[in-house]
Amino acid sequence: MRLTAEPAFVLHARPWRETSLLVEVLSEHHGRLGMVARGVQGPKRHALRAALQPLQWIRFDAVQVGELARLNSAEALDVAPRLTGEAMLSGFYLNELTLRLAPRQDPVPELYEAYGRARSRMAAGEALGWTLRRFERDLLDALGFGFDWHHDGDGAPIDPAARYRLDPEHGPRRVLSDRGHGDRSSAATGRGLLSLADDRTPVADDLPGLRRAIREVLAHHLGPRGLKSWEMLAELGRVTAPRADQAGAGD
């Protein structure tokens, strides 16, 4: 199958053999694809190598042969976000999460659009924590793992004053007390869930609970092998905790 002028976002690229790259992209019409880019080393191939950097938006031509496509050409459609520090790690998280959960060769246009929005928000310097929570919500919804964020798993309206855990199969479950239901402080506030449901910027204090609650759902779908970005953040630690509105993929 020939893929012509296909828009995509580069998720990952790594060296393969002496002069080639193995590239993973999230394409608009064909979903996540693995491709072999042959002969990308050397001064005459600099533009192609630059176009295959993670977070880059590209248009490419390729031929699908089995599981991997053979890349024939690629061009950058814009300038990739120049991220540093926490933002760079959040960009790595964005790509890793998409790479792990997006199905191969299965078009998910809603996920492609959600990725593009998150990338644009990062490039614009918007608050990282809120940008990632919105992407996580949209990713879960696009892949069929999401919830009715306005109601709990039993159909009752979310109470802004209550706290909830997110059951991967059942949806939001109200936490009635610490005893037998875990630590209420690690659950999401109903107010935070409703902000997420309405795409309305939450109160800063609600973001950590949202992050922890959604991470439990993501961990369920990722399986026993977590994300390297989570491990990196755990190893790095924080001398000074990040502000709630800027907290990205970390704890």
Residue 16 in any domain: the answer is yes
Tens digit of each residue's pLDDT (9 = 90 or more) over 10-42: 999 998 888 889 999 999 999 999 999 988 876
At which of 76, 110, 125 does a domain end? 76
Give the tokens for residue 192. 């935070």
Query: Among the three residues 57, 76, 95, which one is the final residue of a domain in this structure?
Result: 76
Confidence of residue 247 (pLDDT cuts 50, 70, 90): low
Q: Are residues 57 and 114 in the same domain?
A: no
Q: With contact defined as beta carbons under 8 Å apart, do 95 and 210 qualify?
A: no
Q: What is the CATH number of the domain that holds 203?
A: 1.20.1440.120
**62: part of which helix (H) or strand (E)?**
strand 57-65
| Distance between CA atoms of residues 183 and 90, nearest Å | 27
What is the largest distance, in Å, between two alpha-carbon atoms of the chain? 65
Instruction: Indicate the pTM of the whole model.
Output: 0.90
Work out how many domains the chain is built from and give that number: 2
Residue 108 in any domain: the answer is yes
Same domain, 71 and 89: no
What one-character-per-residue DSSP string does 181-207 give? Answer: T--GGGSEEHHHHHHHHTT-PPPGGGH
In percent, how much of the chain has pLDDT > 70? 89
Are 99 and 217 within one domain? Answer: yes
Q: Check residue 151 and report its DSSP letter.
A: B
Q: What is the mean pLDDT of the chain?
A: 90
Tell me the CATH number at 39.
2.40.50.140
| Residues 133-169: tens digit of each pLDDT | 999 999 999 999 999 999 999 999 999 999 999 999 9
Q: Select from 51, 76, 101 the last residue of a domain.
A: 76
Pair (27, 143) in one structural domain: no
**Percent share of the chain, pLDDT over 90:** 76
135 DSSP β-pair partners: none
Check if the beta carbon of residue 234 is closer than 8 Å to that of residue 223.
Answer: no
Residues 216 and 120 reside in one and the same domain: yes
196/191 Cα distance (integer angstroms): 9
Q: Are 120 and 216 in the same domain?
A: yes
Domain holding 112, by residue range, is: 85-236
Which has the closest alpha carbon to 104: 33, 179, 20? 33
